[in-house]
Amino acid sequence: MSPWERRKRGGRYYTRSRKVNGRVVREYVGGGALGELVALMDAEERQRREEEAAAWREEREHLEELAGLVDELCEAVETVARATLLAAGFRQHKRGEWRRRRD
């Protein structure tokens, strides 16, 4: 929905819409130069937020990739350690202590 509302007697009126308790509430800001100015400020604010969100998405992707490297290593080392223990004749007792297999 456009933030500009067209009036019957002509001219445009700038509005803002936001959600309050799940319902859309429309705030009437103004027309003419004031409406144009507030619309410009809102557009700039929106652009700033979009840029910040994009930067965070990029940073998060980079961090996830970095964390993935360590996750992969930790999982592989754990696998090798467990394999070593199993191969050496041990078994894990109730997901805790490792004990020598008796059979």
Asked if residues 14 and 31 have their Cβ atoms less than 8 Å apart, the reply is yes
Site track 61-100 with other proteins (rule: CB under 8 A), x = hit: --x--xx-xxxxxxxxxxxxxxxxxxxxxxxx----xx-x
* Nearest distance from C-beta of residue 40 to other proteins, angstroms: 22
Single out the residue of 11, 12, 10, 19 nearest to residue 27, CA to CA: 19
Interaction between residue 51 and other proteins (CB under 8 A): no
Asked if residues 4 and 12 have their Cβ atoms less than 8 Å apart, the reply is yes
* Nearest distance from C-beta of residue 19 to other proteins, angstroms: 17
Reduced to 3 states (helix: H, G, I; strand: E, B; else coil), residue 35 is helix
Between 8 and 97, whose beta carbon lies closer to other proteins? 97
Between 13 and 98, whose beta carbon lies closer to other proteins? 98
